[in-house]
Chains A and B, each alone.
Chain A
């Protein structure tokens, strides 16, 4: 199942790594360098996206603020959001869960693990 996925990360290199992993599974990828840019990108896409993958620590708007903003918007309340971050403590993951994230992946990521998690998340969404 191919999907449209938004990658939000301030590092162009990291976005390219994630894009490479997802395009190998024939997903269509759009990118944004921070939370504010992600909201602007989503606002310009009438059909939205199937999945958001976001970093946490970013300039302008961070990934957890983005997650909360999306959950407060009826259009994106049900869109799966995977957090992909260097942050790895249980307390940080709990903040992600409370913000409304669907899952939490700790960097560095293995491309196969990312693809498998994306497939599982899209399948559970139906």
Chain B
């Protein structure tokens, strides 16, 4: 029996591995994208949601953070020697867990719409997609084979905890990166 390294991915995180590993995560309204390059057996996953905002086109403000989550994932994959032309893309999440109209029932759909539009814009074809519905998804992504196991979570307490955590997360505004100007460097 193989003992693979296990990585638990929280919202906002990205992980890619060239060694056999299992990347695990729990998704409610968030989305996760799994990328796998069969030629070099490199796999990576992100887990994100768009911050609150009125619009979700790939070039709108809230989507900047979705673009960033995708950019980081592709970057980590490239660092490990993979090539975007070989990416096998799988998309998960965007469930309306315990959704109530007052809590913004469109949010899961916004996350999914963003990912679909982003991938289309980048010319990345989706090999498998499991989105929507009302139950959270527990993912296990095997980075050496590209296989993803999806389990729906029916336990109500887990759903409630996830709903609260994601609602809190959504209210955190995204942070922008800093600027450094080099003085007296090689110009």
Binding site for B on A (CB under 8 A): 10-14, 16-17, 20, 57-59, 71, 78, 86-88, 93, 96-110, 113, 117, 120-121
Contacts and interface: CB of A to CB of B under 8 A. Distances in A.
B180 A57 contact: no
Interface in B166-187: 174-182, 185-187
A86 B78 CA distance: 13
A13 B59 contact: yes
B121 interface: yes
B180 A104 contact: yes
Interface of B: 58-59, 64-65, 67-68, 70-72, 74-75, 78-79, 83-84, 118, 121-123, 174-182, 185-187
A101 B121 CA distance: 29
A100 B185 contact: yes
Contact of A13 (B75, B83, B118, B186): B118
A109 B176 contact: yes
B58 A13 contact: yes
5 contacts: A13-B67, A14-B67, A14-B71, A59-B83, A108-B175
Contacts of A86: 68, 71-72, 75
Secondary structure at chain B's binding surface: helix, strand, loop or mixed? mixed
A59 B82 CA distance: 9
A88 B121 CA distance: 26
B177 A106 contact: yes
A53 to B, nearest CB: 12
Given A14-B67, A78-B187, A57 B78 contact: yes
Given A13-B118, A98-B186, A100-B187, A117 B67 contact: no
Contacts of B123: 12
A109 B71 CA distance: 12
Contacts of B72: 86
Contacts of B67: 11, 13-14, 17, 108
B78 A59 contact: yes
A75 to B, nearest CB: 15
A10 B74 CA distance: 10
Given A11-B122, A59-B83, A108 B68 contact: yes
B62 to A, nearest CB: 11
For the complex of A and B, the 8 pairs showing the least CB-CB separation, nearest first, are A106-B177, A108-B68, A103-B181, A57-B75, A100-B186, A110-B176, A104-B180, A97-B182
